[in-house]
Amino acid sequence: MIKFSHRALDQAGEMQTGSIEAESRAEAIAELHQKGLMPVELSEGRRSLSMLLNSDVSILGQASERDVCNFLRDLARLLKAGLSLDNALKLLTDMQDKAAFVTLLEDVHERIRRGESLASALSAHEKTFPIQITAAVHAGENSGALPETLATVSISMDRQLSFREKLRGALIYPAFLMLMVAVTFFLVITFVLPQFAPLFVGNEEKLPSATLFVMGMASLFTDYGLLLLAVVGGVGLIVYFGFKREATRADIYRKLCQLKFVRHLLELPDAVRFIRTLAVCSQSGMKLDRALAMAVQAVKLPHLAKDLSQVRGAVRRGETLSTCFERLVWFPPVALQFAVVGEQSGRLGDMLDEAAGILSQDYEKRMEKGLEVLSPLLTLVLGGVVALLVGSVLLGIMSINDVAF
């Protein structure tokens, strides 16, 4: 199937943009006609510039992860109540108030009417419904327990989102402190300290090192502030565009993960996503090779995805999964032990799911403890910066006036 981006007129004469999958260009045009749309522009792959300019700009209209979680929860409840998937989707689409999410659900509904499975329809919108969700839905459809699977996924998502919301709330105070440190430093360096500079002229030999250092910084910011700002902006742009390159991004992630603390923050969430997706696929009875392929897609760090792709190749050659995991230095030992037990007992999916839950809880606890330390640490930093700036000026004044202690 080829993905085509289109710009077309609907029956009301309004311009619509979107994408469609078809075997050929002619088939895509025919399908648009069946939907009552008159194609104006059709391009293979990404949208053209004219499509981007004519598309709706609605950040607030995009579906959030909380919207997706609520949708899956409500869909599970409606299916458990006995509604058909077609009627449940129609009802939930009518309940949404975000235009972009409504359009997305209408496309999902249309795909299901054409005979696609729910997992296949959702996978067409992977930015909104990532691989972890579609893998779980696929497993639920194969096992005949779709409502229960949707409920389980929504509960898991709700737990993760609640933790993120709690984390964001806890970061408000540290972020405010960091902003205060930056603003205080900028104001004192650029406006306050230059007022004291005339007092120290001709008395540089009497000034302590701290005063000379702070006054030198003030002079640097005053004389070359715009140049420093331009340099910082240029470096920021270089980093931004360099980070957009896949090879550069992979190299940066690999180097960051060489730092012990950063490695834990970056690699553990990816490991949990991989283990949980593999668990869901295994529980549905999916073949291990296919389950590994879907689980690798859930991994975001390039070097981890490369390692896991090699694991998949080794499993294809006949090696056991636990043996392959044992060769990965970053793979959590807890998950490795559960994988061994799962292979021996024939309950690999259940054991991996249990391991993912334990690792997720451990990660959340570590993050909470880190935040508990971060706030007082930033308070000390703020106090230290202010004390350095003010204290250095007072020491300088006392030095040139020979104030005795």
What pLDDT digit, counting tens, does each position of 75-99 carry? 999 998 888 888 898 888 888 878 8
- Say yes or no to pLDDT of 56 above 50: no
Upper half-sphere CA count for residue 189 (Cβ side, 13 Å): 20
How far out from the chain centre does Cα 54 lie?
A: 28
- Say yes or no to pLDDT of 49 above 60: no
Q: What integer pLDDT is reported at residue 14 of this predicted model?
A: 60
Distances from the Cα of 367 to the Cαs of 14, 170, 327, 370, in angstroms? Answer: 49, 10, 27, 5
Assign domain 65-158 one CATH number from 3.10.20.30, 1.10.3720.10, 1.20.81.30, 1.10.287.610. 1.20.81.30
d(CA 136, CA 279): 9
d(CA 380, CA 125): 46
Confidence of residue 13 (pLDDT cuts 50, 70, 90): low
Region label for 82, one of left (φ > 0), alpha (ψ between -120 and 50) or beta (otherwise): left
Expressed in angstroms, the distance from the first to the final Cα of the chain is 84
d(CA 144, CA 284): 9
User: Which CATH architecture does the domain made up of 2-54 adopt?
Assistant: Roll (3.10)
Judged by average pLDDT, the poorest of 43-47, 168-172, 240-244, 331-335 is: 43-47
**Range 166-405 has CATH code 1.10.10.1100:** no
Exposure class string for 205-243: b at 16+ Cβ within 10 A, else e: eebeeebeebbebbeebeeeeeeeeeeeeeeeeeeeeee
- Say yes or no to pLDDT of 319 above 60: yes
d(CA 278, CA 168): 29
State the burial class of residue 90 (Cβ atoms within 10 Å of its Cβ: 0-12, 13-18, 19+). Answer: middle
Where exactly does CATH 1.20.81.30 map onto the chain?
65-158, 166-405
- Out of 59-73, 195-209, 356-370, the most confident range is 356-370
d(CA 207, CA 204): 5
Read off the pLDDT of residues 30-39 as tens digits, 9 standing for 90 and up: 877 777 777 7
Instruction: Indicate the DSSP class of residue 204.
Output: G
148 Cβ contact partners less than 8 Å away, ≥ 6 residues apart: 76, 140
Q: Write down the mean pLDDT value for the chain.
A: 80
Q: 3-state DSSP call for residue 16?
A: strand
- pTM value surpassing 0.75: no
Where exactly does CATH 3.10.20 map onto the chain?
2-54
Tokens for 175?
A: 């972020």
d(CA 101, CA 62): 6
Confidence of residue 337 (pLDDT cuts 50, 70, 90): very high
Read off the pLDDT of residues 271-300 as tens digits, 9 standing for 90 and up: 888 998 888 778 767 788 888 888 888 888
- Say yes or no to pLDDT of 71 above 60: yes
- Say yes or no to pLDDT of 404 above 50: no
- Say yes or no to pLDDT of 16 above 80: no
